[in-house]
């Protein structure tokens, strides 16, 4: 799976709609302190289904919504879209999401929680989690190296390190389905 484009609106410091295209190869995000580099990476993790506000550096999930400044009022929603290209080898999974280019969108309204869309169609959070897990990526993918991540890998417990290896090996999707099957 390849990331092609990221669109943000009302997400953290990205109050005005912004679009970033991602070229093939390794991507680095550079800029002065506080310009929003970490926010870009968090947006990618968030649209992939990140569910922990703490790992988004907030107390609650509404904290990802632009909180306002002395000059601009706060927003009441945030929306992030990620355009990805699914490789032929990415599993289809149940529900058969389309192959090729797909756009995944997550939107949060203040006080009302998140909703997800794939190519404009409403989907469940679980569908998005499976979509990325099957492509061996996702909110906790080792491909997204955020601040503090290197030391976290070194300090990780063996079980946590195993989870990282499973993500990298592309078998986390199996765990999601097993958990799901156990609940049924
Ligand atoms: P550093 O180089 O220090 O790591 P950075 O480029 O990673 O900086 P970020 O942490 O991405 O910077 O961005 C921090 C900025 O985002 C701060 O100015 C902070 O006030 C702003 N910010 C974070 N959340 C919100 C929010 N909900 N509303 C408005 N601004 C926000
Ligand atoms: Mg940072």
What was the pLDDT predicted at 95? 55
The ligand whose atoms approach the alpha carbon of 60 most closely is 1
Indicate left, alpha or beta for 69 from its phi (over 0: left) and psi (-120 to 50: alpha).
Answer: beta
- Is 140's C-beta closer than 6 angstroms to any atom of ligand 1? no
Topology of domain 2-183 in CATH is Rossmann fold (3.40.50)
Query: For atom 23 of ligand 1, which residue has the closest CA?
Result: 12
Interface pTM, i.e. ipTM: 0.98
Compute the distance between CA of residue 29 and CA of residue 144 in angstroms, rounded to an integer: 11
Q: 3-state class of 140 per DSSP?
A: coil
Indicate left, alpha or beta for 96 from its phi (over 0: left) and psi (-120 to 50: alpha).
Answer: left
Query: For atom 4 of ligand 1, which residue has the closest CA?
Result: 33
Each residue of 107-127: pLDDT tens digit?
Answer: 999 999 999 999 999 999 999
Each residue of 66-82: pLDDT tens digit?
Answer: 999 999 999 999 999 99
What was the pLDDT predicted at 94? 54
Residue 35 annotated as lining a ligand binding site? yes
Domains of the chain by residue range: 2-183
Q: What is the pTM of this model?
A: 0.83
Compute the distance between CA of residue 15 and CA of residue 57 in angstroms, rounded to an integer: 17
Q: 58 alpha carbon to ligand 2 midpoint, in Å?
A: 14
The whole-chain average pLDDT of the chain stands at: 89
177 or 106: whose pLDDT is higher?
106
- Is 29's C-beta closer than 6 angstroms to any atom of ligand 1? no
Average pLDDT over residues 57-74: 96
């Amino acid at each position: 799976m390849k990331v092609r484009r990221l669109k943000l609106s009302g997400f953290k410091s990205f109050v005005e709609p912004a679009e970033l295209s991602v070229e093939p190869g390794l991507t680095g995000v550079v800029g002065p302190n506080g310009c929003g580099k970490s926010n870009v990476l968090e947006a990618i993790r968030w649209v992939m289904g990140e569910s922990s506000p703490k790992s988004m550096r907030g107390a609650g999930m509404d904290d990802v919504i632009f909180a306002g400044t002395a000059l601009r009022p706060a927003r009441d929603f945030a929306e992030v879209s990620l355009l990805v290209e699914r490789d032929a080898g990415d599993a289809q999974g149940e529900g058969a999401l389309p192959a090729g280019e797909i756009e995944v969108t997550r939107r949060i309204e203040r006080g009302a929680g998140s909703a997800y869309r794939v190519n404009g169609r409403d989907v469940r959070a679980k569908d998005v989690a499976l979509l990325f897990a099957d492509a061996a990526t996702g909110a906790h993918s080792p491909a997204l190296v955020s601040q503090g991540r290197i030391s976290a890998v070194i300090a990780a417990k063996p079980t946590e390190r195993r989870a990282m290896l499973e993500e990298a090996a592309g078998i986390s999707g199996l765990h999601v389905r097993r958990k799901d099957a156990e609940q049924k």
